[in-house]
Amino acid sequence: MNRRPNISRQTRAVFAALAARSQAWRHGYDLSRETGLKSGTLYPLLIRLHDQGLLEAEWRPSDPPGRPPRHAYRLTAAGVALARESAAAAAEPAVGALSGAVA
Amino acid sequence: MIPARRFADALAQAAVSASPPERREWAEAMRAEVDHLPDSDAAAFAAGCLWTAVRARVDSAGFVLGAARWGLVLAAILWAGLHLRLAGRMSAADAALPEALSYAAAAIYALGALATALFGLRVTAVLATPVLGLTAIYAAAAATLMPQSPNRAFYQALAVEEVAVLLAALLIALVAPRWAAARTVAAAAKP
């Protein structure tokens, strides 16, 4: 039997935001606005995902040019896989509840 | 520069200073991000960054070990001072043995503080274990050693208190390194 990943709501929100455009490099502020997470919640999460090899992080030139570089993030292949698994696991109870209601 | 932006920059700089060395790059990343934010959002975002850096510092194994080590050093110095004060105030005719032991304990705690400051928690455990054993024996035998003393219950209570203090110091010295290591592993494994 597959074990469902035990992933917090905040982590799922970050996974969803990053997985929506998995090839794009995203910034902390941008992720904070999209997920509704404060920086004090978001950054510890990003750090942990990075430590676990689920997130790539690198300094990228700023847009517009001439400003200091910015740290940018995107999921690794393992991160994308876990994000999909987490999205599927999160959808499962809703599907179960819906089938129960229909029956 | 408007005050809100200056405040945000100060918070972001404080986050860099507060972060542990192993997280310094992330603190720099947060500071760089604050540079790119609109003034209206910068202070709140930077406050979260500072919170993140402080949490990382407190969660770091180095902080736990440092707090345990320097906390024990401080406590040992205070305890040595209390022993000196107590020994100097013992005036009862039957107090020769407790007085001598109190001076000895002050010296041992001062030595323990110095050794812990210089060599760390492992030495604390090595030093505290035999002293704890001897103190426990004295605590058990105190009443027998001074059968005529009207204060023997008091001296025995002091010895039992000494055992409790040494036991606490020994536990801290043994548990802090394991706890720090376990926290590091748990933080890395948390999904």
Contacts of B56 in chain A (CB under 8 A): 44, 47
Q: Are residues B42 and B93 in the same domain?
A: no
Nearest to B161 by CA among B101, B73, B117, B119: B101
What is the DSSP track for B55-74? Answer: HHHHHSHHHHHHHHHHHHHH
Instruction: Tell whether the model's pLDDT for residue B14 goes beyond 50.
Output: yes
Tell me which residues of chain B have a C-beta less than 8 Å from any C-beta of chain A.
Answer: 23, 26, 28-30, 32-33, 35-37, 41, 44-49, 51-52, 55-56, 187-188, 190-191
* pLDDT digit string, tens, across residues B153-183: 888 888 899 999 999 999 999 999 998 888 7
Maximum Cα–Cα distance across chain A: 61
Q: Are residues B116 and B38 in the same domain?
A: no
Secondary structure tally for chain B: helices H, strands E: 7, 0
* pLDDT digit string, tens, across residues B53-92: 999 998 888 888 999 999 999 999 999 999 999 888 877 6
Q: Are residues B26 and B100 in the same domain?
A: no
B81 C-beta neighbours (distance < 10 Å), count? 13
Of A10-19, A93-102, B2-11, B146-155, the poorest mean pLDDT is in A93-102
ipTM above 0.85, yes or no: no
Q: Are residues B51 and B77 in the same domain?
A: no
Q: Residue B38 is part of which domain span?
A: 3-58
Q: Give how far A101 is from chain B: nearest CA, Å.
A: 32
pTM above 0.80, yes or no: no
Distance between start and end Cα atoms, chain A: 25
Q: Are residues B32 and B7 in the same domain?
A: yes
**3-state DSSP percent of chain B in helix, strand and coil, to 5:** 90, 0, 10
Q: How many domains does chain B have?
A: 2
pLDDT at B148: 74
* pLDDT digit string, tens, across residues A38-75: 999 999 999 999 999 999 999 999 877 788 899 999 99
Q: Give how far B187 is from chain A: nearest CA, Å.
A: 8
Q: Are residues B83 and B54 in the same domain?
A: no
Write down which residue in B42, B58, B74 finishes a domain. B58
* Contact with chain B for residue A44, Cβ under 8 A: yes
Q: Are residues B137 and B50 in the same domain?
A: no
Structure tokens at A43: 């950054």
